[in-house]
Structure 1
Amino acid sequence: MLHVRFLLLVFFVGVAVPLLAQKPAQPLRLELPLEPENTEVSVIALPDSSLLVYHKLSNAWETESMFYFTKYNSQLEEVWSDTVDIAADNDYLRYYNSAPYTYMVFGRDNLREYTFVRLDHRTGSTWHKQFELEQLEDIYEYNVLNGKFFIIGRNRKDGKPMLLHLNPQTGEYKPLPSIYGEQSSFADLLTDADYGRVDAVISESNGRVSRLQVKSFDADGELLNNYFVLQKEGTSLLNAEITPGDSTEKLLLGTYGTRDLRYAQGFFAAPLASRVVTGNFYNLLQLRNFLKYMKPRREARTRRREEKRLESGRSKGMNYRLLLHDLLPTSYGYVLVAEAYYLQYDNPQERHTALDIDGEHHKMPRGIKRTHAVALGFDKNGTLLWDNTFPLAGLTTYIVAPAVEAQALPDGRMVMAYPDDSSIFYQVMDDVRYDRDQERQELELQPYEENEKILFTQTPGIIRWYGNHMAAFGFQRIRGRGDVRTVFYINKITF
């Protein structure tokens, strides 16, 4: 095995910010001498305001690898560091925080084999074990309750998503009753340690209508309750996030559609205990800022056109695909964040297809383009308090996964941000107020010294951290005084 210890260099950067500019500050910077060609790095925010940095260092042939885990406190000072001796072909997939542990899962070249690692936040001590899960060939989601694993992955036999329970002490695993229909999928998986349950939200569809079902399990994977959520006539519940708490207090916050189940026509909030939708429905026109990503004249035309459609009884013309984020808890309730996107395809004359599991060729999108992200603030009864919008013109990814990070600040504001090369684009939201002059601000990442220059940035990322702080990170090539260096950086961003 290749054993490499690396020097940790902690740099403190004071950034002068003019008061009137209201730019976020960058008070701290950490640089690690790592090369992107042979290093895989992930940054995880821990519940105690610290950061966990995982990195895998491999040789040129990837036949030998070392797996490093290092904790840094809120001042980006090293607290502890450790390594785990596992097979070189392991690649990091998912993590789950459950104080005082962080659980991580790695996949191997043999798609049936998975390695699970547990790290103690306090001491850095590690535990790891490999399991062969015959029924899975990928893992999408991973939660832990009382040391037992709940895993959502792809069923090897039919390609459908499935929920698996794994006891890591005995190695016993079992599929849990969840997905039945051909077009069913998981909308949310929430572990509530205070109430000893895991809630799986399932979106079920027959192609014409869609409904939601919630299955609750205890730590051993035994079914505690099953909720079928009925919808109003003419609506279909598409996706939803579930709140924590007692079953009498739980809410489902999500999207609904009408005729075409690909597109959302609005948002809803419904109490789980009622088992029927007696909650609140908000169509997109009712949201004050949903269309603010448009120019004012276009927004006005769109509103007039849609209002005429409603008056004449015709179906709505606004069709949005919406990708939901995990709920953000606040002092008054919850914030639901969603990204609006559409699929970009090749020129109709060009052929760009893929062979699906049914053996048929299907047209594949060239990219997933975002138009905007929205945030909706609900109280604990499911009443909509405010909504706001973050324009995302030009933001394109190649997978349907969140591209924007959102954080609820202690003073009640919201911030959304995403990285682009050596900049962070962000917007700070203050309740329902929308200021076109303040939309999509740009923050340039600062190097260690003022006279240094960032030549390029590779694989940039940003995560919410704690309080009013985010962490921006990635690889950078920097020209300093007479030398050029490559580093993995972490910049503390303070709003």
Structure 2
Amino acid sequence: MYAMPYIRHLLALLFACILVPLLAQEAPTQPVRLELPLKAEDVDIEVIALPDSSLLVYHKTSNLWETEATFHFTKYNSQLQEVWTDTAALAPDNDYIRSYTFGPHTFLVYGGDNLRDYTFVRLSHETGETWHKKFEIEQLEEIYEYRVLQGNFFLIGRNRKDGKSLLLHLNPESGEITPLPSLYGEESSFTDMLSDHEQDRLDVVISESNGRISRLQVKSFDATGKLLKNYFILQKEDKSLLNAEVTPGDTTQKLLIGTYGTRDLRYSQGFFATLMASQVVEGNFYSILELNNFLKYMKPRREERARRRQEQRLRSGRGSGLNYRLLLHDLIETPYGYILAAEAYFPQHSNERSSVLSMTPSGLRPYKLADGFKRSHAVALGFDKSGQLLWDNAMPLTGITTYYLRHAVEVQPLTDGRVVMAYPENTRIVYQIMNDNRYNDEKTELELLPYEENEKIQTNEYPGLIRWYGNSMAAFGFQHIKTKGKGTRQAFSITKITF
């Protein structure tokens, strides 16, 4: 008499076990869409995700001669409903450069026609109220990175005098601008800058090289720009530490996670993770050959051939033949540790013979700027909080080339522990969901949907995709939407995509 409930319970359990994997493979949804009556030729626009699950949309409109301009800021909630909108009275020649969001504020920096003029904006997420101030920064002619710590600004940019990178501290109250001790050698470069708000300090990671070997250095500053401590991280044996991202946390817990090379410092041969305070990297090196999926962008036979040749090279002592230029993403913190994503790229030149010349000139050394940077694939690696590699996965990036060396894909951890990599491709979103080491060779795409069934998105100019909150991303772009029997309209569209 008790068999039937037990059987029903067992069947329900089996059904759930079957259903969960099926649900995990369902296509992403597009629950909300917003259209703004804006055209690409009329505005400059940025979409910024805020920590309270809302979006900040900035756009600038100006007259034909750019003698008058209005700077608009609008906040939308998670359902893309307007919360508030406001404007800021900035000079018409100001153009957006970068932003940094922390707590209840977003900080934005703009550049003027005079390359020494920079305007900084602090915007309240709650009210839209803005503070802004212009500074003349004589030392810089371009800003690469921008962070804020306790209301003080830290900038990395190009030194006007010698073209090298420079780290500056700016006190917005006093207007005092101070160069901070950072780079020394000709081959030195910045690889990361982290505002660690819990520790009230700023960490800057520097790669130092003499052309043959490379090491890393971390400099920690307080909010006033005072140097707190230097950390020198030496390489192990024949491995040179090329670049790294630094994790938040106190000194005993901070990790450096990055890439290493061997003979040619332009190329990475693998990844490493180490405690920042360890001074010497003793372990946690992971060569490309050891990773499960790094080479999965290749066809199976090509991957097998590449692995076989690499093993033969290593046995004969010729060194690695797997050489990749890798563009690192910022570390993503997860409940179990960290995710490091990277994009493998190679510069393209109109004259292939010039591809061996330096892309970062120093002194009178000849060089040739790349015509573009083509991607082969992107990778993601999951580490625990001690720096042990948990999993790795990869996504092919066929046909993606960017003129500037900037990120082409977006990476977002999902609430169930999986990770999604995605990028916009005209009216589609190409994505891959990663589940630990299990590699999926299927190319999955999502077509962006218009408001109505009788409409079609014909084109999507300047498409973008950003990580938002939870399992949702925000896709956007200037679209031409055709309505059956009613012609075509233009709009700047934002679509919420939930995985």
Give TM-score, length-normalised by structure 1.
Answer: 0.93
- State whether residues 271 and 278 of structure 1, in contact with CA within 8 Å, keep that contact through their aligned partners in structure 2: no
Structure 2 unaligned blocks of 5 or more: 1-21
Following the alignment from structure 1 to structure 2, what is the Cα–Cα distance between the partners of residues 486 and 33?
Answer: 7
Instruction: Give the C-alpha shift of residue 58 in structure 1.
Output: 1.4
- AA matched with 1:460: P
1:331 aligned partner: 335
Instruction: Give the C-alpha shift of residue 347 in structure 1.
Output: 3.9
Structure 1 residues 252 and 350, CA gap change in structure 2 (3 angstroms): closer
Out of 58, 66, 73, the position equivalent to 1:69 is 73
Following the alignment from structure 1 to structure 2, what is the Cα–Cα distance between the partners of residues 467 and 350?
Answer: 45
CA RMSD of aligned residues (A): 1.8
- State whether residues 217 and 224 of structure 1, in contact with CA within 8 Å, keep that contact through their aligned partners in structure 2: yes
Give TM-score, length-normalised by structure 2.
Answer: 0.93
**Percent of pairs with identical residues:** 65
Following the alignment from structure 2 to structure 1, what is the Cα–Cα distance between the partners of residues 389 and 64?
Answer: 54
Question: What is the aligned length?
Answer: 475
Out of 341, 352, 359, the position equivalent to 2:345 is 341
Out of 360, 369, 374, the position equivalent to 2:379 is 374
Give the secondary-structure state (helix, strand or coil) at the position aligned to 2:198.
helix
Write the deviation string for residues 165-203 of structure 1: whole angstroms up to 9, x where unpaired.
000011011000001111111000000111100000001
Following the alignment from structure 2 to structure 1, what is the Cα–Cα distance between the partners of residues 186 and 277?
Answer: 27
Out of 217, 221, 224, the position equivalent to 1:220 is 224
Following the alignment from structure 1 to structure 2, what is the Cα–Cα distance between the partners of residues 395 and 494?
Answer: 24
Structure 1 residues 117 and 403, CA gap change in structure 2 (3 angstroms): same
- State whether residues 215 and 242 of structure 2, in contact with CA within 8 Å, keep that contact through their aligned partners in structure 1: yes
Q: Is residue 283 of structure 2 the alignment partner of residue 279 of structure 1?
A: yes
Instruction: Give the C-alpha shift of residue 366 in structure 1.
Output: 2.1
Greater radius of gyration (CA): 2
Out of 123, 136, 139, the position equivalent to 1:135 is 139
Write the deviation string for residues 82-113 of structure 1: whole angstroms up to 9, x where unpaired.
10001111000010011110000001111110
Structure 1 residues 194 and 69, CA gap change in structure 2 (3 angstroms): same
- State whether residues 354 and 368 of structure 2, in contact with CA within 8 Å, keep that contact through their aligned partners in structure 1: no
Instruction: Give the C-alpha shift of residue 20 in structure 1.
Output: 9.2
- AA matched with 2:30: Q
Instruction: Give the C-alpha shift of residue 60 in structure 1.
Output: 1.8
Following the alignment from structure 2 to structure 1, what is the Cα–Cα distance between the partners of residues 447 and 354?
Answer: 38
Out of 76, 81, 84, the position equivalent to 2:85 is 81
Instruction: Give the C-alpha shift of residue 455 in structure 1.
Output: 2.0
2:17 aligned partner: none
- State whether residues 256 and 267 of structure 1, in contact with CA within 8 Å, keep that contact through their aligned partners in structure 2: yes
- State whether residues 344 and 375 of structure 2, in contact with CA within 8 Å, keep that contact through their aligned partners in structure 1: yes
Write the deviation string for residues 415-463 of structure 1: whole angstroms up to 9, x where unpaired.
0011111111110000110122x3x311111111111111211100000
Out of 244, 258, 264, the position equivalent to 1:254 is 258
Following the alignment from structure 1 to structure 2, what is the Cα–Cα distance between the partners of residues 133 and 433?
Answer: 50
1:387 aligned partner: 392
- AA matched with 2:383: F
Following the alignment from structure 1 to structure 2, what is the Cα–Cα distance between the partners of residues 181 and 350?
Answer: 25
Give the secondary-structure state (helix, strand or coil) at the position aligned to 1:305.
helix
- State whether residues 372 and 391 of structure 1, in contact with CA within 8 Å, keep that contact through their aligned partners in structure 2: yes
Write the deviation string for residues 252-290 of structure 1: whole angstroms up to 9, x where unpaired.
000000010000000000101111112310110000000
Following the alignment from structure 1 to structure 2, what is the Cα–Cα distance between the partners of residues 332 and 218?
Answer: 28
- AA matched with 1:382: G
- AA matched with 2:96: Y
- AA matched with 2:348: Q
Q: Is residue 477 of structure 2 the alignment partner of residue 464 of structure 1?
A: no
Instruction: Give the C-alpha shift of residue 357 in structure 1.
Output: 7.4
Out of 440, 444, 447, the position equivalent to 1:441 is 444
Structure 1 unaligned blocks of 5 or more: 1-17
Following the alignment from structure 1 to structure 2, what is the Cα–Cα distance between the partners of residues 359 and 61?
Answer: 40
- AA matched with 1:368: F
Write the deviation string for residues 318-351 of structure 1: whole angstroms up to 9, x where unpaired.
1100010000011100000000011112245899
1:4 aligned partner: none
- AA matched with 2:372: G
Write the deviation string for residues 222-262 of structure 1: whole angstroms up to 9, x where unpaired.
00110010111211000000000001000000000001000
1:432 aligned partner: 437
Following the alignment from structure 2 to structure 1, what is the Cα–Cα distance between the partners of residues 25 and 153?
Answer: 47
Out of 44, 50, 57, the position equivalent to 2:54 is 50
